[in-house]
């Protein structure tokens, strides 16, 4: 994707694309500074083009983190932010704290896009490291546009028009394990009913076709027998595991990642050694089409 001429003429940041067509490292950029409209436009265009952006040596505060994310849209409050496992600050509910300790390891090993069980899943997220692990805990992102492009013509044609159902079942299971009352869970079921999204969504900015099912939240494909639906979904889930479609972030102090949730899935390697504390701020998205 090319930058518009007026933006290209004023380029102030350096973009170094990754080897697999996904991911780019951004330098010449201070996230803590007062950012111009041109800089924000450059970042927006780079996000759509590269799908995940990596920033190094950004030693920012939580308030600077929030201010940066707000430049790209309205901030999201996770629907289950008040659950104990999310550790949100009641005064700053837009911030999700993800912490892994040796006595309580927490990783998101399953490949997924965030909050696809909502009618309007997240546009994207800005994730910064607060405390690095001694080793491990890398985050990987998969390019679901490349995954779609890698399918044969017959499969792409077959997937066209299919609709999948997404549900918040992982959070439901967690709540049951925490002993949340059945009445509370039933109330949440009514508040957050299953959402239906196209199996292949269109990116609202680039127009790119993207596989939009994931192993965390997609539970079935409408109009198919259960066995057929499960078989197809397993094959589509596995697309994110192809290393040719992936970018990887090895975290170190001052690292920040900004990813496009519409066009990627992500996963965390289950090898965290020591403590790992991250803070994530997400941007409200729109309904997939």
59 classed as catalytic: no
3-state class of 243 per DSSP? helix
114 classed as catalytic: yes
Predicted TM-score (pTM) of the model is: 0.92
Catalytic residue among 112, 128, 166, 197: 112
112 classed as catalytic: yes
3-state class of 220 per DSSP? strand
Catalytic residue among 50, 65, 78, 114: 114
Catalytic residue among 197, 203, 266, 276: 266
CA distances to 35, 74, 94, 171 from 30, rounded to whole Å, are 8, 21, 22, 36
Two tokens, residue 267 = 């996963």
Judge contact between 212 and 200, C-beta under 8 A. Answer: yes
Judge contact between 56 and 249, C-beta under 8 A. Answer: no
Rounded Cα distance between 62 and 5, Å, is 34
Domain residue ranges of the chain, discontinuous segments joined by +: 5-283
- Tens of pLDDT along the chain (289 residues) come to 454 444 444 547 899 999 999 999 999 999 999 899 999 999 999 999 999 999 999 999 999 999 999 999 999 999 987 766 556 677 899 999 888 888 777 667 899 999 999 999 999 999 999 999 888 999 999 999 999 999 999 999 999 999 999 999 988 998 898 889 999 999 999 999 999 999 999 999 999 999 999 999 999 999 999 999 999 999 999 999 999 999 999 999 999 999 999 999 999 998 988 888 999 999 999 999 9
- Fold assignment, 5-283: Double-stranded beta-helix (3.60.130)
């Amino acid at each position: 994707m090319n930058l518009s001429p007026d933006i290209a003429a004023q380029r102030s940041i350096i973009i170094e694309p990754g080897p697999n067509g996904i991911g780019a490292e951004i330098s010449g950029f201070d996230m803590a500074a007062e950012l111009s409209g041109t800089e924000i436009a450059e970042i927006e265009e780079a996000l759509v083009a590269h799908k995940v952006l990596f920033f190094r040596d950004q030693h920012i505060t939580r308030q600077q983190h929030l201010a940066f994310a707000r430049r790209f849209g309205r901030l999201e409050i996770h629907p289950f932010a008040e659950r104990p496992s999310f550790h949100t600050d009641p005064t700053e509910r837009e911030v999700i704290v993800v912490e892994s300790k040796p006595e309580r390891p927490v990783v998101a090993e399953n490949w997924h896009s965030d909050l696809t069980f909502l009618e309007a899943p997240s546009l994207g997220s800005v994730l910064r490291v607060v405390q690095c692990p001694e080793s491990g805990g890398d985050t990987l992102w998969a390019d679901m546009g490349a995954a779609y492009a890698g399918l044969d013509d017959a499969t792409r044609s077959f997937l066209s028009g299919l609709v999948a159902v997404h549900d918040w079942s992982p959070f439901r299971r967690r709540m049951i394990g925490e002993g949340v009352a059945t009445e509370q869970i039933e109330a949440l079921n009514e508040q957050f009913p299953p959402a239906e999204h196209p199996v292949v969504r269109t990116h609202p900015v680039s127009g790119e076709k993207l596989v939009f099912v994931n192993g965390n939240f997609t539970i079935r494909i409408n109009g198919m027998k259960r066995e057929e639906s499960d078989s197809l979904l397993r094959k589509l889930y596995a697309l994110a595991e192809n290393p040719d479609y992936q970018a990887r972030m090895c975290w170190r102090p001052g690292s920040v990642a900004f990813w496009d949730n519409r066009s990627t899935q992500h996963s965390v390697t289950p090898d965290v050694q020591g403590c790992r504390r991250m803070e994530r701020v997400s941007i409200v998205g729109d309904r997939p089409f």
